[in-house]
Amino acid sequence: MARFTWAILALQVLFCTQVWADDPIPNCPAYTLRRHNGGNPGSLPINNEQVLKWKVDSQNQYLDRARVQGPIVRIYPDRSSHYHFAISLTGSNDPNGKDTIEVIYNLSFGSEVKPRLGQMVEACGDYITSNAPSDGGNGRTYPASPDGAIIHWVHLAPPSSKHHSGYLVINGVLTGQGSGNRRRHTESLSWSPFFEGSPEEEFLSVESY
């Protein structure tokens, strides 16, 4: 009886995993594509090489869109209900490599899978160069990323936010498509040159890095 029960549980886990893994991956819309494509954001291709160039050539707090892939090489402590981990953009498993980017994921948008070392990741979201502390507004200071750059907002965005959605795939499991917890954001958006409305119009999830 015990063996039968375990067999049923194993089949349930396998079935659920297969359903998640077969979920279609959303488009990864990009600001620059929308600017040059009649307002259509299109779908950004994997741009690991471009992200590595931004890490070297851009100033602190440079913002753009990224779609990256790579294995998890470092896992940082969770902070403010966010996962923090680093992936290699060249496929290297060297935890001390310079080819990494920190992925920051807001757990309020779903937690279907917990990141583990060696898992393959695809992330679509906002790239930010983070090689020095930065002003987060309201007396907050964001520390520099240990990887020199981050990708965040790797989750769904509501139509009212005027922000492109992102997503996170870990070992074939799509996450980041939940509704999330949002608050009206009225702070300075000087770090976001691509926002098209006023600060009072934008809804942001509670992103904190």
How far lies 1's CA from each of 12, 13, 15, 144, in Å? 17, 19, 21, 55
Q: Is residue 13 part of a domain?
A: no
Q: Is 31 a member of any domain?
A: yes
Q: What is the mean pLDDT of residues 2-9?
A: 42
- Give the pTM: 0.73
114-156 tens-digit pLDDT: 899 999 999 999 999 999 998 878 888 889 999 999 999 999 8
10, part of any domain: no
For residues 101 and 180, the model is more confident at: 101
Is residue 96 in a domain?
yes
Residue at 165 is within a domain: yes
Confidence of residue 111 (pLDDT cuts 50, 70, 90): confident
Per-residue pLDDT reduced to its tens digit, 29-81: 887 777 777 777 788 999 999 999 999 999 999 999 999 999 999 999 987 78
Number of domains the chain contains = 1
pLDDT of residue 18: 32
**Residue 16: what pLDDT?**
35
| Domain residue limits at 53 | 25-205
Decide if pLDDT at 96 tops 60: yes
Asked if pLDDT for residue 25 goes beyond 70, the answer is yes
CATH number at residue 194: 2.40.50.140
pLDDT in tens, 158-179: 777 777 889 999 999 998 887 6
- Domain assignment present for 19: no
Query: Does the residue 181 lie in any domain?
Result: yes
User: Can you give the pLDDT at residue 9?
Assistant: 38
The verdict on residue 5 lying in a domain is no
